[in-house]
């Protein structure tokens, strides 16, 4: 008769097959060596080297947006002022149409060869194309081909910037400790808006010192040409940064899986179509959030100078200068909002951004409509308030939606398609709405509508503050934190072992396995 020598119910059983015993599989536990302790000097280099690229990107956005009324006569002198404005706004929007292609390409490349190499490439292309705008001949030299060349160079620039923000947010998020990811990632957008303010300040100084006629003759070229030496400095800093530890760990794990496929995790989706199929829900959430935030952001930065000049009677100088102090104050407040998200969560801070957009947009444009400088500044501040809470969280909330192995690619898709459809087109859409309806309050209604839709995405967004990025090991500041995290891992609601990049199971040593024998 068969007799059993059974193991206790608390342990898995082993089975016998053709005289060979298979070891049971248990969940892998976190060890101290698994936890990434942040190297602060490396992280600071990574943060600084990444910020310079974002600053460069928004420097160009700033100077182009503020020079729209100046560059119109240069490239389309025979057209009406409104047609010139729509052409330049359309050219600005065309830049964003190239972003999805760049985002898909550089995102795919960044998940294959690494973040650092791709970010260096995107910065080189971005700086070179901005510099090239300053060298373009005008309509007086080559006729309508001047406008064609401008659109072409801006498309090249859009292609390069498609990989910039997605890679920058991915890179910084993977370097930052879990408990301070919101704070450190928010510096990216602080640099972005400071870059915009720097560009706006430079244009204002040139307008004040050179005058409008000289600006149209040749002065408009100066801000673009300055991008050359600025770009060289930025490239130098970016070449000094190291690959993110999270991505390097993923590469090491993939190499190990190829050597020892037993117990390896599922294959990473390859290519944009596979990535979209695997993560389409989170990609849609990210796209809606990006659309809501960037609609308000680009309305403030890229459209307001044109709105103040074309619709509210300000001259080019005041249309540019009035936004500068608002941008500077907002940029300095962005890290504070990022730190707040580390304390109370990403979702609550994003709720503040969405609700305040709906509540404040209409009063903001009413104040701007009064026409006094004090009321215009107050109206601009009301628009800047929700932007601060929106953008301070995107750089930390969006990368946390995707696993490390596919993060750059998924970010490239979600961010750039949303920006192309809703962000870069915001100035053009708002201008067209005003022309079509004759109602100067249309910008307020447009911003309110996009944030109402954004609120739906926030409702479905998974909270990610203080948690490890999916597909990454926990990241902490000190060895003491690492030991405490390992010690309390069974009771820590912020840890999810299933999202960590070690094998989902492992074999117990043979000596520890009680064996079930049939005789």
Are 246 and 469 contacting, i.e. CB atoms less than 8 angstroms apart? yes
Are 458 and 393 contacting, i.e. CB atoms less than 8 angstroms apart? no
Return the percentage of the chain with pLDDT > 90, whole number. Answer: 29
Asked if pLDDT for residue 459 goes beyond 80, the answer is yes
Mean pLDDT of the chain: 82
- Structure confidence by residue, pLDDT tens digits, 340-368: 999 999 999 999 999 999 999 999 999 99
Q: Does the model's pTM come out above 0.75?
A: yes
Q: Distance (Å, rounded) from C-alpha 457 to C-alpha 405?
A: 24
Going by pLDDT thresholds of 50, 70 and 90, the confidence category of residue 258 is: low
- Structure confidence by residue, pLDDT tens digits, 154-171: 999 888 888 888 888 888
Helix (H) or strand (E) holding 15: strand 15-17
pLDDT average, residue stretch 445-454: 94
pLDDT at 285: 96
pLDDT at 312: 80
**Any idea what DSSP says for residue 215?**
I
Asked if pLDDT for residue 19 goes beyond 80, the answer is no
Helix (H) or strand (E) holding 306: helix 304-310
> Is residue 27 left, alpha or beta, with left meaning phi > 0 and alpha meaning psi from -120 to 50?
beta
**Domain ranges for the chain:** 37-242+270-467
**CATH number attached to the domain at 37-242+270-467:** 1.20.1250.20
How many residues comprise the chain? 519
More confident residue, 27 or 284: 284
Q: Lowest mean pLDDT: which of 93-102, 194-203, 441-450, 495-504?
A: 495-504
Q: Lowest mean pLDDT: which of 84-93, 123-132, 168-177, 242-251?
A: 242-251
Asked if pLDDT for residue 208 goes beyond 60, the answer is yes
């Amino acid at each position: 008769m068969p007799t059993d020598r059974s193991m206790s119910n608390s342990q898995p059983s082993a089975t016998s097959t053709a005289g060979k015993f298979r070891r049971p599989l248990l969940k892998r536990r976190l060890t101290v060596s698994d936890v990434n302790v942040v190297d602060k000097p490396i992280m600071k280099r990574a943060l600084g080297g990444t910020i310079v690229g974002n600053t460069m990107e928004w420097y160009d956005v700033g100077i182009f947006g503020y020079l729209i009324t100046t560059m119109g006569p240069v490239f389309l002198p025979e057209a009406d002022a409104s047609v010139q404005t729509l052409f330049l706004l359309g050219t600005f929007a065309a830049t964003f149409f190239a972003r999805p292609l760049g985002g898909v390409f550089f995102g795919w490349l960044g998940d294959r060869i690494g973040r650092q190499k791709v970010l260096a490439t995107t910065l080189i292309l971005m700086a070179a194309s901005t510099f090239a705008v300053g060298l373009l001949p005008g309509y007086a030299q080559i006729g309508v081909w001047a406008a064609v060349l401008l659109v072409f160079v801006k498309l090249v620039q859009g292609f390069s910037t498609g990989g910039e923000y997605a890679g920058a947010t991915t890179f910084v998020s993977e370097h930052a400790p879990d408990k301070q990811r919101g704070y450190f990632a928010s510096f990216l957008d602080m640099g972005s808006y400071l870059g915009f303010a720097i560009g706006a300040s430079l244009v204002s100084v040139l307008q004040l010192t050179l005058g409008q006629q000289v600006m149209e003759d040749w002065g408009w070229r100066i801000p673009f040409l300055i991008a050359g030496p600025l770009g060289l400095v930025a490239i130098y800093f970016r070449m000094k940064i190291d690959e993110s530890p999270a991505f390097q760990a993923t590469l090491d794990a993939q190499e190990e899986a190829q050597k020892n496929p037993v117990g390896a995790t599922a294959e990473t989706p390859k290519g944009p179509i596979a990535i979209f199929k695997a993560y389409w829900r989170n990609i849609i959430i990210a796209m809606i959030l990006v659309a809501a935030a960037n609609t308000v952001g680009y309305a403030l930065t890229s459209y307001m100078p044109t709105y103040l000049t074309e619709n509210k009677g300000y001259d080019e100088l005041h249309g540019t200068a009035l936004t500068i102090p608002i941008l500077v104050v907002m940029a300095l407040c962005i890290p504070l909002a990022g730190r707040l998200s580390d304390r109370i969560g990403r979702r609550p801070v994003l709720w503040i951004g969405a609700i305040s957009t709906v509540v404040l947009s209409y009063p903001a444009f009413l104040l701007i409509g009064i026409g006094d400088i004090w009321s215009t500044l107050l109206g601009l501040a009301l628009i800047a308030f929700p932007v601060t809470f929106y953008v301070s969280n995107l750089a930390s909330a969006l990368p946390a939606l995707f696993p490390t192995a596919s993060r750059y690619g998924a970010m490239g898709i979600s961010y750039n398609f949303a920006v192309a459809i809703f962000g870069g087109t915001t100035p053009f859409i708002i201008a067209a709405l005003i022309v079509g309806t004759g109602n100067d309050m249309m910008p307020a209604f447009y911003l309110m509508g996009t944030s109402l839709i954004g609120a739906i995405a926030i409702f479905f967004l998974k909270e990610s503050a203080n948690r490890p990025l999916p597909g990454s090991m926990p990241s902490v500041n000190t060895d003491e934190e690492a030991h405490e995290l390992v010690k309390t891992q069974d009771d820590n609601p912020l840890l999810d072992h299933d999202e960590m990049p070690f094998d989902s199971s492992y074999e117990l040593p043979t000596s520890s396995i009680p064996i079930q024998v049939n005789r």
